[in-house]
Amino acid sequence: MKTVDIKKIRKKMEKEQDSKRFEHTLGVAYTASALAMCNQTDPEKALIAGLLHDCAKCIGNDKRISICEKHHIPISEIERQNPFLLHAKAGSYIAKKKFHIHDEDILNAILYHTTGRPEMSELEKIIYIADYIEPGRKHAINLPKIRKMAFQDLDEALLVILNDVLNYLHSIDNPIDPMTQETFDYYLSNKNNQTKKES
């Protein structure tokens, strides 16, 4: 990986994000880095992906849509209706073009950090999980249990988070992105297949 100036990225994010969002960004970056250490994954890549994962969070829906349209990034029906979801796609694009990140794994970790996807890489799982468990998060149910699990088994933690997110979205009548559902279904069947093999 070409050397990336992490200090510069951190400074830019501090300037662009409000203080609460920046605290979250740091929380994700360092939690992801610790999870990477725990899973023989590159902690520096995790730090960079964590610092950049919400780089399109503070730019407004119109801008997110226009970035995607201008650069031929497909917008699904559900993303059109809930443009906040696009901060993942727009963020991945900004990370590449504005922050000169060319590592596909980092770009994908940003791209799939909100919905997940089937067959995630270790880094993608780590960013998805770190986003949910970083120390600044307070409200999700099962947090203490998930935080412990995250440092023992990424797939187990992923499955509980996806289950809780889907239940939460159903409870407040929010539409589900098919990718969120697909990710849950994939990791559930993965777990069931493993249990069958073991017995």
Residue ranges binding Fe ion (CB under 5 A): 54, 131
DSSP-derived 3-state class of residue 73: coil
Site for ligand DGI contains 134 (CB under 6 A) = no
User: Minimal distance in Å, beta carbon 197 to ligand DGI?
Assistant: 30
Alpha helices, DSSP H only, in 57-141? Answer: 61-70, 77-81, 87-97, 104-111, 122-133
145 to 174: interface string for ligand DGI, x by CB under 6 A: --------------------x---x----x
Identity of the residue numbered 21? R
What does the alpha-carbon distance between residue 34 and residue 1 come to, in Å, rounded to a whole number?
20
Site for ligand DGI contains 180 (CB under 6 A) = yes
63 to 82: interface string for ligand DGI, x by CB under 6 A: -------------------x
What does the alpha-carbon distance between residue 91 and residue 187 come to, in Å, rounded to a whole number?
25
What tokens appear for 196 in the block? 């069958």
Count of residues engaged in binding ligand DGI, rule: CB under 6 A = 15
DSSP-derived 3-state class of residue 5: coil
Nearer to ligand DGI, 160 or 193 (CB): 160
Identity of the residue numbered 88? A
What does the alpha-carbon distance between residue 121 and residue 191 come to, in Å, rounded to a whole number?
16
User: Minimal distance in Å, beta carbon 111 to ligand DGI?
Assistant: 11
Ranges within 93-122 binding ligand DGI (CB under 6 A): 113-115
Rule CB under 6 A: which residues touch ligand DGI?
24, 54, 57, 82, 113-115, 131, 165, 169, 174-177, 180
